[in-house]
Amino acid sequence: MLPLFSRVVLTSEVPSGALVLRQGDVGAIVEVYENGAFYAVEFFSVNGDTLAVETVRADQLRPITDRDMMQARALA
């Protein structure tokens, strides 16, 4: 189970209203459901504004590692 408030990376695309969260987007776990089967994850802009909070399955996330590189992308 991933710990609350840990940073995670999406492993698949997730629709979020008008926004599409893409594989590789980074977020923070803000809630854990069903003993780690689902997580609420908050996604931020580079300046720290919240862009989306989505509930995703555990298999759609992985923990951040020291081999990950941050990258920025513009939202359409």
Q: Are 25 and 13 in contact (CB under 8 A)?
A: no
What does the pLDDT read at residue 76?
72
Query: pTM for this structure?
Result: 0.93
Evaluated on CA atoms 68, 12, 20, 56, the torsion sign reads negative
Q: List the pLDDT tens digit at each of the 76 positions of the chain.
A: 999 999 999 999 999 888 999 999 999 999 999 999 999 999 999 999 999 999 999 999 999 999 999 999 998 7
Residue carrying structure tokens 């996604």:
43
Q: What is the set of domains in the chain, with CATH numbers?
A: 7-63 (2.30.30)
What does the pLDDT read at residue 7?
97
Using DSSP bridges, classify how beta strands 7-10 and 50-57 pair: parallel, antiparallel or unpaired: unpaired
What does the pLDDT read at residue 42?
98
